[in-house]
């Protein structure tokens, strides 16, 4: 098999971050019930930010604050059930595995080491701009020297699918993270999976 590159998003795709995000926004004074928290999942990040009433000029500070909160609370953060086995399998099958996230690489490293998964990833990159993933994907693919058509980006958000499309790589939406199944389908990913065990079928 010629080598293929699979790039993963981290939060919501590998780590179960959504409950931490909800705890953070409620701590910041945003009040909503379970129904409203569910509705947020149908919105893209831009729309969710708007719904929470965060003005564009405050978004960067909000994201920075979340990263700090995350750093303090991530010791207990669980991974999505079954993801560890699915990734170990892809690694054994010979795929080159990478992570491209807007989270801090220090947080990612800490969690992956704790879970015994650090060695599966050849590349771990952070993109500070939460809407800058397309550019980062393109840069990473160029650096590794793979064809975009032999590359996938796997993510849990509409913005991940859009970034993959913009970068010219194939997209895989996972339904266990931030965005709902319906919102992800509407963004027309190349593939959509609802459990980690389905992942290896996508790439074969
Ligand atoms: Mg994510």
List the domains of the chain with CATH numbers.
5-15+78-203 (3.40.50.1000), 18-76 (no CATH)
In the prediction, which pLDDT does 45 show?
83
User: Directed axis angle between helix 56-73 and helix 105-114, to 10°?
Assistant: 30
Q: Which of 9, 11, 156, 160 is catalytic?
A: 9
Nearest to 194 by CA among 159, 156, 144: 156
- CA 177 to centroid of ligand 1, rounded, Å: 7
Per-residue model confidence (pLDDT) at position 115: 95
Tell me the pLDDT tens digit for each residue of 189-202: 999 999 999 998 99
CA of 191 to the centre of ligand 1 (A): 16
Q: pTM for the full model?
A: 0.92
Q: Which pLDDT does position 2 carry in this prediction? A: 60
Q: How far apart are CA 69 and CA 89, in angstroms?
A: 32
Digit-coded pLDDT (tens) for 141-176: 999 998 898 999 999 999 999 999 999 999 999 999
* Residues with pLDDT less than 70, the chain: 1-2
138 Cα–ligand 1 center, Å: 18
Cα of 157 vs centre of ligand 1, distance in Å, is: 6
Burial string for 40-78 (b: 16+ CB within 10 Å, else e) reads: bbbbbbeebbeeeebeeeeeeebeeebbebbeeebeebe
The Cβ-side half-sphere exposure at 192, using a 13 Å CA radius, reads 17
pLDDT of residue 33: 78
Question: CA distances (Å), 166 to each of 22, 46, 101, 155, 196, in order?
Answer: 29, 17, 16, 14, 25
Active site residue 33: no
């Amino acid at each position: 098999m010629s080598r293929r590159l699979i790039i993963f998003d981290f939060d919501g795709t590998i780590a179960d971050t959504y409950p931490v995000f909800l705890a953070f926004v409620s701590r910041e004074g945003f009040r909503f019930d379970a129904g409203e928290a569910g509705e947020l999942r149908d919105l893209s990040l831009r729309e969710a930010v708007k719904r929470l009433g965060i003005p564009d000029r405050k978004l960067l500070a909000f994201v920075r604050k979340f990263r700090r909160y995350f750093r303090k609370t991530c010791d207990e953060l669980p991974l999505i059930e079954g993801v560890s086995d699915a990734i170990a399998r892809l690694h054994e099958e010979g795929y080159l595995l990478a992570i491209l996230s807007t989270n801090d690489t220090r947080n990612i490293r800490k969690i992956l080491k704790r879970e015994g998964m650090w060695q599966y990833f050849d590349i771990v990159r952070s993109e500070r701009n939460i809407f800058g993933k397309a550019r980062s994907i393109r840069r990473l693919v160029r650096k590794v020297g793979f064809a975009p058509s032999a590359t996938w980006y796997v993510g849990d958000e509409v913005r991940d699918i859009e970034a993959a499309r913009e970068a010219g790589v194939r997209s895989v939406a996972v339904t266990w993270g931030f965005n709902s199944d319906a919102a992800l389908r509407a963004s027309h990913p190349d593939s959509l999976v609802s459990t980690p065990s389905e992942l290896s079928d996508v790439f074969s």
